[in-house]
Structure formats: structure tokens, C-alpha cells
């Protein structure tokens, strides 16, 4: 039983939840402290479950759809489906269960989250098709993860607001930027299979410049959020950490040296998301 669970946790790269979950929690506490909503452990738990179910469905669907492509790529050939660890049929069953659980969970939150749940699923599942027709597939991935803070805010207040939208755009630029860096590893493979990506389109140097632009916008949004939201010194510590992590990954990865890509992907972005959320939430709760 434990072995089976571990297989599916590996399939969906559960550890990568660290990227979006902190921002979902930021959106939740933003709603309870600045949006006029009230804290509820039930709603909090439902928000966390929505994150887990939506992300698990999206990641498993990506693996299922790309299984034939993954077989051909030496970097991905050992993934669970192409390696035969999990069958395509079982993977699809897992996807459908998570999709249904996500929609069911939104039903218990509020009507707007329930009615918007199919749109959210269209985005997070639809991303997997985008590399087949657009180099901007990284942006679609960013949109998918950017739904976390605004979705959590809606779960509490049932209304849209500018501040969580700014956080969502920040997530979009941040995620799209680091996904471009991660995809540098597959530039040659993407070209050989006629798959679309920023590296395949612009080359390694051009892709890094594109990523830098997105991360400059992300840094500007962090500052804008701090000013617009009237945050205090704890927020600015978190902002400094987040921006320094953005800078560090561009210092680590060079067009002629991709050896630090995996360190950048997990370590720097994991630290960035967790510490930023910790300081921002602490700022909202203490001031």
C-alpha cells in the first residue's frame, strides 16, 4: 500500500506542491485579514484539498498525455508511465478521481468556486497540450499556478479584488520564468520532435533573456503589492528574500552551463515561495 502511494506521489511530483501552495495560503490569509473575510478551519482545509486535487490531476494528466514523448527523451524515459511503473489506464483513473474530488470540494466552499471549477480545470489540464502548438506554453503553466491565490481569496470572500489579482500575476511571471529555465535542458529534444518552447524558439541565450524579463516584472509586482497593500517590515524582508532568489537563479544558470538548473528549480524557487509566504502571512497576522 505504501509503495503504491509513493508511486503516485512520484508521478505527480508531490514535492513540487511547494511552489503554488504557499501562494494559495497567502491568498487565503489575504482574504481573512484584508478582504473582510473570517477565518475558518473548514474553509482552510477545503482550500488545501482543492490545491492538492487540482495539481495532482494536472500533473498526472501531463504525464499521461506525454507518455509517448517521454519515452523518447532520455531525461524523462524513467518516469512512471513510460517506465511501466504505473499503467496508462491506472493513471487516467487517478486523474478522473482527482478531477471529481476537486469539483466536489469546490461545491462545499461556495457557488462561485464551484461554477468556476471547470474553467480552472480547463486551464490546468489544457496546459499539457500547449507545447504542441505554441512556444508560450510556459505562460499557460504560469496561468495555471496563478489561480491558487485568487482561488483561495474567492473561497473566503466570494469576490474578486485587485490585491490577490496582483499576487496571481506575480505567480504567473515567476512560474513562467523558472519553467523556461527548466526547459533549457530539452532545447535539442524539443526541436527534434517539433515541440514548441521558448528555448526551441529563441535558443538558450534568448530564452534566458525572456525569463529575465518575466522575473523583472515579478520583482516589480512584489514591490507594487507591498506598497498597494500597505504592508510592513516583515513583508519587505520576505520581498527581499524572494527577489534575491530570482536574481540567484539567473546567476546560477548560463547558456553554456546548465549544470545548476535542477538546483535552481527546486532549491531557489522552493525557498522563494515558502519564505515569501511565511513573511507575508506573518505581516498580515501581526499588524
Summarised one tens digit per residue, pLDDT across range 61-76 is: 999 999 999 999 999 9
- Report percent pLDDT > 90 for the chain: 85
**Three-state SS across the chain?**
CHHHHHHHHHHCCHHHHHCCHHHHHHHHHHHHHCCCCCCCHHHHHHHHHHHHHHHHHHHHHHHHHCHHHHHHCCCCCCCCCCCCCCCHHHHHHHHHHHHHHHHHHHHCCCHHHHHHHHHHHHHHHHHHHHCCCCCCHHHHHHHHHHHHHHHHHHHHHCCCCHHHHHHHHHHHHHHHHHHHHHHHHHHHHHHHCCCCCHHHHHHHHHHHHHHHHHHHHHHHHHHHHHHHCCCCHHHHHHHHHHHHHHHHHHHHCECCECCCHHHHHHHHHHHHHHHHHHHHHHHHHHC
Give the model's pLDDT for residue 266: 77
What is the average pLDDT across 18-22? 87
pLDDT, tens digit, for every residue of 202-224?
A: 999 999 999 999 999 999 999 99
Indicate the pLDDT class of residue 108, thresholds 50, 70 and 90.
Answer: very high
**Average pLDDT, integer, range 87-104:** 97
pLDDT value of residue 1: 67
| Domain residue extents for the chain | 2-286
pLDDT in tens, 254-287: 888 888 888 777 788 889 999 999 999 999 999 9
Report the predicted TM-score, pTM, of the whole model to 2 decimal places. 0.94
Residue 71: per-residue pLDDT: 94
First to last CA, the chain: 46
Specify the CATH number of the domain 2-286: 1.10.357.140
Amino acid at each position: 500500500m505504501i509503495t503504491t502511494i509513493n508511486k503516485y506521489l512520484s508521478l505527480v511530483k508531490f514535492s513540487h506542491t511547494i511552489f503554488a501552495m504557499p501562494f494559495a495560503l497567502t491568498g487565503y490569509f489575504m482574504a481573512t485579514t484584508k478582504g473582510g473575510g473570517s477565518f475558518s478551519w473548514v474553509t482552510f482545509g477545503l482550500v488545501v484539498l482543492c490545491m492538492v486535487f487540482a495539481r495532482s490531476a494536472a500533473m498526472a494528466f501531463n504525464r499521461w498525455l506525454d507518455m509517448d514523448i517521454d519515452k523518447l527523451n532520455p531525461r524523462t524515459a524513467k518516469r512512471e508511465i513510460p517506465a511501466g511503473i504505473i499503467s496508462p489506464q491506472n493513471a487516467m483513473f487517478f486523474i478522473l478521481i482527482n478531477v471529481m474530488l476537486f469539483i466536489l470540494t469546490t461545491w462545499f466552499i461556495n457557488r462561485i468556486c464551484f461554477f468556476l471549477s471547470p474553467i480552472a480545470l480547463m486551464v490546468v489540464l489544457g496546459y499539457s497540450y500547449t507545447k504542441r502548438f505554441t512556444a508560450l506554453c510556459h505562460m499557460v503553466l504560469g496561468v495555471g499556478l496563478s489561480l491558487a491565490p485568487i482561488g483561495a481569496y474567492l473561497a473566503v470572500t466570494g469576490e474578486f479584488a485587485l490585491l490577490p489579482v496582483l499576487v496571481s500575476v506575480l505567480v504567473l511571471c515567476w512560474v513562467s520564468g523558472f519553467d523556461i529555465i527548466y526547459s533549457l535542458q530539452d532545447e535539442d529534444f524539443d526541436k527534434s520532435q517539433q515541440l514548441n518552447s521558448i528555448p526551441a524558439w529563441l535558443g538558450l541565450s534568448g530564452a534566458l533573456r525572456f525569463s529575465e524579463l518575466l522575473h523583472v516584472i515579478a520583482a516589480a509586482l512584489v514591490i507594487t503589492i507591498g506598497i498597494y497593500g500597505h504592508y510592513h517590515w516583515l513583508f519587505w524582508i520576505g520581498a527581499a528574500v524572494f527577489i534575491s532568489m530570482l536574481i540567484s537563479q539567473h546567476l546560477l544558470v548560463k547558456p553554456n552551463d546548465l549544470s545548476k538548473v535542477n538546483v535552481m528549480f527546486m532549491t531557489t524557487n522552493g525557498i522563494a515561495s515558502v519564505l515569501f509566504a511565511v513573511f507575508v502571512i506573518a505581516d498580515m497576522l501581526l499588524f
